[in-house]
Amino acid sequence: MPDARRPAGELEAAVLDVLWAAAGPMTVREVQTAVGGGLARTTITTILSRLTAKGLLRRARAGRTYAYTPVVADPAALIARRMLRELEESGTDRPSVLARFVSDLDADDERLLRSLIHRADDAGGPTP
């Protein structure tokens, strides 16, 4: 029998997509319905618990259950958060990590990054 498991992270991404599209907090049952695919309630509960433990969701009591809300606003914020975590975990070699990152950018991305840095400087953003 072939393995019907989803690729790693696919279900977490689907749950996050549902929560980002929601007008407000969602219960396990609401997430289960929105994700679809005949997934068990326990599977959705496990995914929501993992995302909460990772700091990506906040949960609050909603009657006898919990309702979940994303901590990060959208996929771009999630990716930025992951990039920052990787940078923080690089230890004392931050300059080398950042230098390698910038050197690996294509010309368009490098121009975009420079533009964003200049815009942040002009707006009084944080300086090193």
Domain assignment present for residue 1? The answer is no
Q: In the chain, how many domains are there?
A: 2
Instruction: Let me know whether 63 and 106 are in one domain.
Output: no
- Report the length, in residues, of the chain: 128
Alpha helices in 22-89 (DSSP H): 28-35, 41-53, 75-89
Instruction: Let me know whether 56 and 96 are in one domain.
Output: no
What is the pTM assigned to this prediction?
Answer: 0.74
User: Taking a C-beta distance cutoff of 8 angstroms, is the pair 60, 25 a contact?
Assistant: yes
Q: So what's the pLDDT on residue 3?
A: 46
Using a 10 angstrom Cβ sphere, with 0-12 exposed, 13-18 middle and 19 or more buried, the burial of residue 99 is: exposed
Instruction: Let me know whether 18 and 64 are in one domain.
Output: yes
CA gap 62, 45 in Å, rounded: 15
Instruction: Let me know whether 38 and 51 are in one domain.
Output: yes
Domain range holding 23?
Answer: 10-70
Q: So what's the pLDDT on residue 8?
A: 59
> pLDDT by residue (tens digit) across 7-36?
658 999 999 999 999 999 999 999 999 999
Domain assignment present for residue 46? The answer is yes
Q: So what's the pLDDT on residue 62?
A: 93
Residues of the chain with pLDDT under 50: 1-3, 128
Question: The CATH number of the domain where 57 resides is what?
Answer: 1.10.10.10
Alpha-carbon Rg for the chain, nearest whole angstrom, is 19
